[in-house]
Amino acid sequence: MSLSFEGRVVLVTGAGGGLGREYALAFAERGASVVVNDLGADTKGGGKSSAAADKVVEEIRAKGGKAVANYDSVEDGEKLIQSTLDAFGRIDVVVNNAGILRDRSFARTSDLDWDLIQRVHLRGSFLVTRAAWNHMKNQKFGRIIMTASAAGIYGNFGQANYSAAKLGMLGLANTLAIEGRKYNVHCNTIAPVAGSRLTETVMPPDLVASLKPEYVAPLVLWLCHEQCQENGGLFEVGAGWIGKLRWERSQGRTVRQKNQPMTPEVVRDQWDKICDFTDATKPTSVQESLQSIMTVLSQVESGGEVGVNPTAAAASATSASGINPAEAVGQKLPPTTFNFTHTQCILYALGVGMSTKDPDHLRFLYEGHPDFSCLPTFGVIPSQAAMMDGGLTSIPGLNIDFTQVLHGEQYLELYRPLPTSGKLTSEATIVDVLDKGSGAVILLDVNTYSGDELVSYNQFTVFVVGAGGFGGKRTSEKAKPSLPPPKRAPDAVVIDSTTRDQAALYRLSGDWNPLHIDPSFAAMGGFKAPILHGLCSFGFAARHVLKHFADNDPSRFKAIKVRFVKPVMPGQSLQTEMWKEGNRIHIQCKVKETDAVVLAGAYVDLHGASEASPESLTQGGGLQSELVFAEIGRRIKDLGSELVKKVNAVFGWEITKDGKSAAQWTIDLKNGSGSLHKGPCSGKADVTFTVSDEDFMEVVMGKLNPQKAFFSGKLKVRGNIMLSQKLEVILKDYAKL
């Protein structure tokens, strides 16, 4: 459908010639009632004549359009609007276009040269727009154009006065865009290039002729149409080309160290980094701009702890150069313990949006439920204590500015469904430190144990802004990679709303950063309001997968990986898009209201339904125990060294079926990093068990105690019988398979 301006009233200032005339003709041609304003001055602002405006009005009327002339100077802004209202009864669009030039080299610029330019361009646009403003606000519609210039954006010899006024208009437009937004009053700025009497003195004649004003007008019409939602934009336009401009900002560098004075010498020494546009950000608001600065401040105030949230837009950087991977890698943080009861599990489930509205959530919300369980992603909670306690600060070789630490990615793997109460101990190790140029990446692996038993593994990917450049490697085989989703429409999409109090609730699970609750603290961080914890959205996304692809069965959950991209505000809706690829469910999480991706490169790995319920797998005469051994094999692959340390023995297995030997297995947890193979032991097993396929499953599922099985003759043991106690370490995890 063509864009119509029927019923709209448009005021174009300086429309007696050049670009303004073209706009006036184009608006009128599409049905608008147009006020053609022009003072009829010369290019320097001298003289006055009604001829220019009259001529354009005649042209419009000759074509059957509606137009009236106005001869006031834009310095009498009220008069322009009054005559518009007198003629047409309303004002919908103001195109601030009138302009003059008084080019001089800066030294020769007189007060008059300066003042006249400011008065016509900047003050004139202000006065005309202010006179129209309340009319637009009251009718909940308005479109305003400011005319800037490349001279203002980039500077131009001999145009100091003009450059200042033109960029002043952009500043005016930026704020009007914000103040007018909620009234549907939009303000955009153009920097045109066109042949006109203003440019004929600086451009060759054939260029003046070919850069036609009609190659600019369509942009102005679009920006002024009710369909166009653009607001606060800046566009360069000419010769039929249109481009949008925005600000870019270097990652920057924090040149202040805690408790030390800030000096010009440090500024000098960091100058290259300050001006380096690698990984530059593109702030679009004062909030975003201040965010990095306030993050420095607020993180200093909060004691330099690692904020477990994805506020990764923060951008200034540390001056730290004290990273020594050789020293840091392999260092352990002090172990932490985490005591919990069902209360914490339930609180966490509520924190990640579970509700009694959904009957199948009850198993996570009610300790009396027969299948009461802990949500798998609760597995991050015990391990994050290691980070929250500021343990990183004590690591040698990691002399970094802890105000610059951001939580970039998270990986969690469970080796058994989480218990619903107990005491868990976490051990964190720096497994790698990477040099990403603009920043350093610290990979922190946290193993969490219940007694001796490994329950979960977390990998925190911590980004230290500005701490790169120490000459380290860029990638690590230790990093659990994030993965892009398949290039097809998602197989499932779940939309779920967070509540206004989601962060207030989630923080009770242990992330007490005031950024998530205190409006003034959030404002210091550059946010309009407290933001949701990244790990809260992570919990939402994981339970969406669990519900959709695993029937809410926590024993099906194996692992999750996410990359935090943007923050979510409590109350926004999360849209989790899921792609199933075998047992891997790729996910991407967006804020529904803004379509912004908040979790990227993410996936959840599930245990296959068959693996998870071995009872159902006897079809085809296969041995149920095969699956358990397959899983033991996977676990040895992942964790072999841990298990070898704990067990240090070779186990032989003889599985019988209907009284006959059906399979032999060897679990070697003594040599190298452990192995599993099907068949008899090549060397000597420390202990060999003979058991029927059925009884093996009973033991595995915790229904038959191994000692009892031995005494009742169901389990035969040859070799070092004491080692059967260690069976627990291997088998106990599968009790809930």
Q: Which residues participate in catalysis according to the annotation?
A: 162
Handedness of CA 248, 253, 259, 263 (dihedral sign): negative
Tell me the Cα Rg of the chain: 35
Cβ pair 39, 48 in contact under 8 A: yes
Of these, 9, 32, 68, 100, which contacts ligand NAI (CB under 6 A)?
100
Residue 97 sits in the site that holds ligand NAI (CB under 6 A)? yes
On the CB side of 399, CA atoms within 13 Å amount to: 11
Q: Which of 287, 299, 545 is nearest to 400 (CA)?
A: 299
Q: Which residues, including other chains, have CB under 8 Å from residue 647's CB and lie 6 or more apart? A: 669, 670, 726, 729, 730
CA distance 12 to 37: 6
Of these, 118, 139, 199, 302, which contacts ligand NAI (CB under 6 A)?
199
Q: State whether residue 375 is helix, strand or coil.
A: coil
Residue 12 sits in the site that holds ligand NAI (CB under 6 A)? no
Stretch that binds ligand NAI, among 39-47, 138-146, 602-610, 711-719 (CB under 6 A): 39-47
Stretch that binds ligand NAI, among 197-205, 513-521, 619-627, 727-735 (CB under 6 A): 197-205
How far apart are CB 30 and ligand NAI at their closest, in Å?
Answer: 20
Dihedral over alpha carbons 81, 83, 87, 89 (to 10 degrees):
40
Strands 142-147 and 557-564: unpaired
DSSP string, 505-558: HHGGGS---GGGT-HHHHHHTT-SSPPPPHHHHHHHHHHHHHHHHHTT-GGGEE
Strands 185-193 and 234-238: parallel
Q: Which of 494, 436, 431, 499 is nearest to 469 (CA)?
A: 436
Residue 569 sits in the site that holds ligand NAI (CB under 6 A)? no
Cβ pair 312, 288 in contact under 8 A: no
Q: Which is nearer to ligand NAI, 17 or 674 (CB)?
A: 17
How far apart are CB 127 and ligand NAI at their closest, in Å?
Answer: 10
Stretch that binds ligand NAI, among 23-31, 34-42, 137-145, 299-307 (CB under 6 A): 34-42
Of these, 9, 28, 37, 84, which contacts ligand NAI (CB under 6 A)?
37
The CB-nearest residue to ligand NAI is: 18
How far apart are CB 83 and ligand NAI at their closest, in Å?
Answer: 13
Strands 660-669 and 675-678: antiparallel
- Burial category of 511 from C-beta neighbours within 10 Å (exposed 0-12, middle 13-18, buried 19 and up): buried
Q: Which is nearer to ligand NAI, 73 or 316 (CB)?
A: 73
Stretch that binds ligand NAI, among 195-203, 456-464, 631-639, 640-648 (CB under 6 A): 195-203
How far apart are CB 97 and ligand NAI at their closest, in Å?
Answer: 5
Residue 435 sits in the site that holds ligand NAI (CB under 6 A)? no
Stretch that binds ligand NAI, among 40-48, 315-323, 346-354, 410-418 (CB under 6 A): 40-48
Q: Which residues, including other chains, have CB under 8 Å from residue 158's CB and lie 6 or more apart? A: 103, 104, 105
Residue 316 sits in the site that holds ligand NAI (CB under 6 A)? no
Residue 19 sits in the site that holds ligand NAI (CB under 6 A)? yes
Residue 40 sits in the site that holds ligand NAI (CB under 6 A)? yes
User: How is the beta sheet containing 453-465 ordered, strand by strand?
Assistant: 336-340, 422-435, 439-450, 453-465, 405-414, 557-564, 597-606, 584-591, 573-581, 492-497
Encoded tokens for 225: 């149409």
Of these, 30, 43, 300, 469, which contacts ligand NAI (CB under 6 A)?
43
How far apart are CB 239 and ligand NAI at their closest, in Å?
Answer: 11
How far apart are CB 54 and ligand NAI at their closest, in Å?
Answer: 12
Applying the rule CB under 6 A, the residues between 545 and 564 that interact with ligand NAI are: none
Handedness of CA 445, 449, 454, 456 (dihedral sign): negative
Residue 77 sits in the site that holds ligand NAI (CB under 6 A)? no
Q: Which is nearer to ligand NAI, 191 or 296 (CB)?
A: 191
Stretch that binds ligand NAI, among 187-195, 392-400, 616-624, 703-711 (CB under 6 A): 187-195
Handedness of CA 361, 366, 368, 371 (dihedral sign): positive
Q: How far apart are the first and last CA of the chain?
A: 61
How far apart are CB 149 and ligand NAI at their closest, in Å?
Answer: 4
Stretch that binds ligand NAI, among 68-76, 286-294, 395-403, 570-578 (CB under 6 A): 68-76
How far apart are CB 214 and ligand NAI at their closest, in Å?
Answer: 12
Cβ pair 632, 647 in contact under 8 A: no
- Burial category of 272 from C-beta neighbours within 10 Å (exposed 0-12, middle 13-18, buried 19 and up): exposed
The amino acid sitting at 119 is R
Kind and range of the H or E run holding 22: helix 18-29
Of these, 9, 10, 11, 13, which contacts ligand NAI (CB under 6 A)?
13
Q: Which is nearer to ligand NAI, 53 or 454 (CB)?
A: 53
How far apart are CB 167 and ligand NAI at their closest, in Å?
Answer: 12
Stretch that binds ligand NAI, among 32-40, 389-397, 442-450, 486-494 (CB under 6 A): 32-40
Cβ pair 560, 605 in contact under 8 A: yes
Residue 73 sits in the site that holds ligand NAI (CB under 6 A)? yes
Q: Which is nearer to ligand NAI, 233 or 307 (CB)?
A: 233
Q: Which is nearer to ligand NAI, 192 or 233 (CB)?
A: 192
How far apart are CB 204 and ligand NAI at their closest, in Å?
Answer: 13
How far apart are CB 119 and ligand NAI at their closest, in Å?
Answer: 8
Residue 237 sits in the site that holds ligand NAI (CB under 6 A)? no
Size of the site for ligand NAI (CB under 6 A): 33
Q: Which is nearer to ligand NAI, 63 or 197 (CB)?
A: 197
Cβ pair 245, 234 in contact under 8 A: yes
Binding to ligand NAI by CB under 6 A, coded x per residue (else -) over 146-165, reads: -x-x----------------
Q: Which is nearer to ligand NAI, 46 or 713 (CB)?
A: 46
Residue 39 sits in the site that holds ligand NAI (CB under 6 A)? yes
Q: Which residues, including other chains, have CB under 8 Å from residue 267's CB and lie 6 or more apart? A: 255, 274
Q: State whether residue 164 is helix, strand or coil.
A: helix
CA distance 555 to 631: 13
Q: Which residues, including other chains, have CB under 8 Å from residue 464's CB and lie 6 or more apart? A: 318, 320, 400, 401, 404, 405, 406, 439, 440, 441, 442
Handedness of CA 255, 259, 262, 268 (dihedral sign): negative
Q: Which is nearer to ligand NAI, 50 or 331 (CB)?
A: 50
Of these, 45, 283, 307, 382, which contacts ligand NAI (CB under 6 A)?
45
Residue 18 sits in the site that holds ligand NAI (CB under 6 A)? yes
Q: Which is nearer to ligand NAI, 165 or 606 (CB)?
A: 165
Of these, 81, 193, 333, 681, which contacts ligand NAI (CB under 6 A)?
193
Residue 189 sits in the site that holds ligand NAI (CB under 6 A)? no
Stretch that binds ligand NAI, among 95-103, 410-418, 612-620, 674-682 (CB under 6 A): 95-103
Q: Which residues, including other chains, have CB under 8 Å from residue 263's CB and lie 6 or more apart? A: none
Residue 44 sits in the site that holds ligand NAI (CB under 6 A)? no
- The separation between CA 626 and the C-alpha centre of its own chain, rounded to angstroms, equals 43
Of these, 32, 34, 56, 74, which contacts ligand NAI (CB under 6 A)?
74
Residue 20 sits in the site that holds ligand NAI (CB under 6 A)? yes
How far apart are CB 222 and ligand NAI at their closest, in Å?
Answer: 18
Q: For 555-659, list the strands marked E by DSSP.
A: 557-564, 573-581, 584-591, 597-606, 649-657
CA distance 79 to 99: 18
Chain residues binding ligand NAI by CB under 6 A are: 13-14, 16-20, 37-41, 43, 45, 52, 73-75, 97-100, 120, 124, 147, 149, 192-194, 196-199
